[in-house]
Structure 1
Amino acid sequence: MPRILSRLRASSLLLGAALAIFQLSAVAELSIEITGAGANRIPVAIADFGGDAGLSRALTSVVRGDLERSGLFRLIDTGSVAMNESTPPVFSDWKNRGADAISAGSLGRSADGRQEARFRLYDINKQIPLAGAAFVTSAPMLRAAGHRIADVIYEKLIGEPGVFATRIAYVVRSGAARYELFVADADGQNEQVALRSREPIISPVWSPDGARIAYVSFENKKPVVYVHSLASGQRNVVANFKGSNSAPAWSPDGRRLAVVLSKDGGSQIFMVNADGSGVQRVSYGSGINTEPAFSPDGESLYFTSDRGGSPQIYRSSLGGGDAQRVTFEGSYNVTPRISPDGKSLAFITRRDGAFRLAVMDLASRQVQVLTDSHKDESPSFAPNGRMILIATELGGRGVLSAVSIDGRIKQRLTISAGDVREPAWGPYIK
């Protein structure tokens, strides 16, 4: 039985440098395999950064890797051409090489002794600079500077914010009883442990400011909802009532969470302040009501309910009124997640006996199944809405997969030793 189904039934029974305080674990490093690409990739050249050979090469590698993994760019070979941001390129040469844009930069020392990464992006056809920036950082944080540079290039060429500088969270199970909650860069690198436990950890979800993660831990031999500060490592219990406490979801303002409690019998959705106070029930009726997700404006909740006889997705206004059914195709649709712009609904649907990721256009109600796998679960949107991160299975082992909202671009994120589940894509860090 897929875990998403068993979890639904069980619920009725039951910033930057601050991350250095976590313990590193190379065992859980994610590796990414690209299995698809966009229909029209933009040809772009990323020249080697000038400066210290080793550090500059590493910085260049991060920028190139980010753009290539997105599936939206075709990297033009720059060979051994030396360039920096202060000297415009020979536009005709790069046009002959097939590039539409080129980035050049350098890495040097700032006035305070730290590293300064500078770059400029040029439009080859118009022969004009498109963007430029400088990031002052330390050597250990060069990867973060590379992600920021890639985000600038992405936004200028694609027209929407990039997500390379964001982070993801996920849970790794290794051995019979070892669970670890990890936080990593969006490319799976720089992974760090937020929590270790001998009992399951499930349902991590980021606060809107990226400073905290709420999750469910079974360390007290029952599901309890915690809020965990990434900077300090401090944890606070948000929901530890009689029975099951599960499925936390942050409100867009970060002040409250929706949680699923069985303290009154059955599984119902409650609101609770981030400090655990102010518990208020918001769902009623018979059957299971679980897996809440806020709309981007914070005025509605999408959730899973079997009130109609089979698990389906419903929407309810927090201002009152009856819940409205959203999904109608098929007899099993669960785990609603709303895109950041509020226009699309990602969820898990059962088709031909397999559990797959689907996305609905909320205006037209058209549904597209994005995967051909068998045990997808836990969808999570990237903050720009372009990709959806999910957990799935490959060879009987849990892996992560990222799929573009149109289904064209696919990535697979695996760990050499361990079963990886429960992904959550973090927000933009301001």
Structure 2
Amino acid sequence: MSKTLTRICFFLLFLGLGLSAFAQFRVEVSGVGLTQLPIAVSAFRGEDGAPQKLGAIVQADLERSGQFRSIDTAGVALDEGTRPDVAAWRQKGADSLVTGSVSRLADGRYDVRFRLWDVVRGQDLGGQSYVVTQADLRLAAHRIADFVYEKLTGDKGAFSTRIAYVTKAVQRYQLWVADADGENAQSALASPEPIISPAWSPNGSQLAYVSFESRKPVVYTHDVGTGKRRLIANFKGSNSAPAWSPDGRTLAVTLSRDGGSQLYAIDAGGGEPRRLAQSGSIDTEPAYTPNGKSIYFVSDRGGAPQIYKMPASGGNVERVTFTGSYNISPAISPDGRWLAYISRVSGAFKLHIMELASGAVNAIADTSADESPSFAPNSRLIVYATQQQGREALMTTTLDGKLKARLTGQGGDIREPAWGPFQKQ
């Protein structure tokens, strides 16, 4: 049975999750983007004495974006205060160079500094410094990558954001919050029963999810910082597929309390749900548009699962997907331009993307068991779960599908990814 069915209440099944709880990730980048900027990221001076290799983290972030091609620095360590030999770096093929340093302060914190150079023009493009705890060294590296990405592409970087995902080890399910590259995972919840469908609140402070700890699907919200959680939907039958409205005040959920799975809106603090559509069909997997005016969802009202759209307050329903006979798991990009979803093609479940303005559709994955797409908050990457060589893994992909990065656990499988919003610094 396809693992893409885990989140669909058509079947109310939960397939096996996986990943050993404390497995580290490695990033495997494949493919080539059409226009990649050649950049050199030197080792940071002093990082040999630090618990994190900041230069390598920055380089991996930039490579994973699909926008950059790394130039070999041959182990050269350069700090932010030394003007580089720009002619030598041009000869190596670099257009840009990142240099920096890390030093431990007397109070145990670390002083991290960096500078970005345009070696073609010989210009200093600026830099920053951070004083961070040891636990936040990776975050500092991700923020450096964000700075470089925005300076050189004009788009905001999303490397310092977070993802959530679910693992299963033996009969123990865990909800994790991790860096956008999958590292530095912190357990938010552990349960002997399945946890599915994590969804970030717009401000990144909470996760909504479905827990089976009551031996039925029930919706909770969970404060990531404190660990406190609130029961949102525990009505008769199934309670599933939570989605936050952009203002964070409302959750769209799928309930079967009145017979059949239908869409409801419920206050984010709990309360009595309000039915959004009157339908004899199965409606599920709601996703709000960024402006909060509409909801995309999956329905079998045409005879097979397809993606539809309706006003967020309910009303006229419009069919969105027409390519393929089975389309599920809609995700809307934060800029409102793209719809990612899973389509069954000749028995395989593949990630597709639609440009909403034109309706043009492209398959952007060559795997056959894709599920749970989620956009980066800058709308430039998608994270999704898939299966490769008999193992489940998380992948990120550029919107054209030309460059993918696999986040691979060493001891098992991972599922149900959700990419969080930008964080306030």
TM-score normalized with structure 2 length: 0.93
Q: Letter of the aligned partner of 2:24 in structure 1?
A: E
Contact 2:64 2:404 in 1 (8 A): no
Q: Which residue of 1 aligns with 2:148?
A: 153
Alignment root-mean-square deviation, CA:
2.1
Identify the range of structure 1 (143-152 vs 37-46) with the bigger mean alpha-carbon deviation.
Answer: 37-46
Q: Which residue of 1 aligns with 2:44?
A: 49
Q: Letter of the aligned partner of 2:94 in structure 1?
A: A
Q: 1:193 & 1:221 partners in 2: Cα distance?
A: 22
Q: 1:83 aligns with which of 69, 78, 81?
A: 78
Pairwise mapping of residues 105-116 of structure 1 onto structure 2 (< 5 A)?
Answer: 105-108=100-103, 114-116=109-111
Task: Give the C-alpha shift of residue 163 in structure 1.
Answer: 1.5
Q: Which residue of 1 aligns with 2:190?
A: 196
SS at match of 1:28: coil
Task: Give the C-alpha shift of residue 248 in structure 1.
Answer: 0.2
Q: 1:372 & 1:80 partners in 2: Cα distance?
A: 35
Task: Give the C-alpha shift of residue 335 in structure 1.
Answer: 1.1
Q: 1:306 & 1:341 partners in 2: Cα distance?
A: 28
Task: Give the C-alpha shift of residue 319 in structure 1.
Answer: 4.6
SS at match of 2:82: coil
Q: 1:280 & 1:319 partners in 2: Cα distance?
A: 9
Pairwise mapping of residues 316-335 of structure 1 onto structure 2 (< 5 A)?
Answer: 316-335=310-329
Q: Which residue of 1 aligns with 2:17?
A: none
Task: Give the C-alpha shift of residue 51 in structure 1.
Answer: 3.2
Deviations 1:155-201 (A, max 9, x none): 111221112111111111122x2211111111111112111111111
Contact 1:43 1:73 in 2 (8 A): yes
SS at match of 1:35: strand
| Aligned residue-pair number | 419
Deviations 1:216-270 (A, max 9, x none): 0000000000101111111110100000000000111111110000101111111
Pairwise mapping of residues 19-418 of structure 1 onto structure 2 (< 5 A)?
Answer: 27-51=22-46, 53-55=48-50, 58-79=53-74, 81-108=76-103, 114-175=109-170, 177-418=171-412
Task: Give the C-alpha shift of residue 347 in structure 1.
Answer: 0.5
Deviations 1:270-329 (A, max 9, x none): 111111124211122111010000000011000000111111110001255311000111
Task: Give the C-alpha shift of residue 421 in structure 1.
Answer: 1.0
Q: 1:319 & 1:223 partners in 2: Cα distance?
A: 25
Task: Give the C-alpha shift of residue 403 in structure 1.
Answer: 1.5
Identify the range of structure 1 (263-272 vs 85-94) with the bigger mean alpha-carbon deviation.
Answer: 85-94
Deviations 1:373-397 (A, max 9, x none): 2211111111111111111123443
Q: 1:281 & 1:222 partners in 2: Cα distance?
A: 21
Q: 2:86 & 2:193 partners in 1: Cα distance?
A: 59
Unaligned runs of 5+ in 1: 15-24
Unaligned runs of 5+ in 2: 15-19
Contact 1:120 1:131 in 2 (8 A): yes
Q: 2:10 & 2:337 partners in 1: Cα distance?
A: 31
Q: Letter of the aligned partner of 2:381 in structure 1?
A: M
Contact 1:183 1:192 in 2 (8 A): yes
Change (3 A) 1:109 1:418: closer
Q: Which residue of 2 aligns with 1:19?
A: none
Q: 1:369 & 1:243 partners in 2: Cα distance?
A: 35
SS at match of 2:225: coil
Task: Give the C-alpha shift of residue 367 in structure 1.
Answer: 0.4
Q: 2:97 & 2:410 partners in 1: Cα distance?
A: 35
SS at match of 2:140: helix
Task: Give the C-alpha shift of residue 12 in structure 1.
Answer: 7.3
Q: 1:302 & 1:331 partners in 2: Cα distance?
A: 17
Task: Give the C-alpha shift of residue 70 in structure 1.
Answer: 2.6
Task: Give the C-alpha shift of residue 80 in structure 1.
Answer: 5.1
Contact 1:131 1:152 in 2 (8 A): no
Q: 2:13 & 2:81 partners in 1: Cα distance?
A: 65
SS at match of 1:417: coil
Identify the range of structure 1 (122-131 vs 364-373) with the bigger mean alpha-carbon deviation.
Answer: 122-131
Change (3 A) 1:352 1:13: closer
Task: Give the C-alpha shift of residue 423 in structure 1.
Answer: 0.8
Deviations 1:124-168 (A, max 9, x none): 122211231111111231111011101111111122111211111
Q: Letter of the aligned partner of 2:162 in structure 1?
A: R
Q: 2:52 & 2:417 partners in 1: Cα distance?
A: 30
TM-score normalized with structure 1 length: 0.92
SS at match of 2:78: coil
SS at match of 2:151: helix
Change (3 A) 1:309 1:42: same
Q: 2:378 & 2:313 partners in 1: Cα distance?
A: 28
Change (3 A) 1:236 1:82: closer
Q: 1:306 & 1:167 partners in 2: Cα distance?
A: 33
Contact 1:62 1:147 in 2 (8 A): yes
Q: 2:149 & 2:37 partners in 1: Cα distance?
A: 10
Q: 1:55 & 1:42 partners in 2: Cα distance?
A: 29
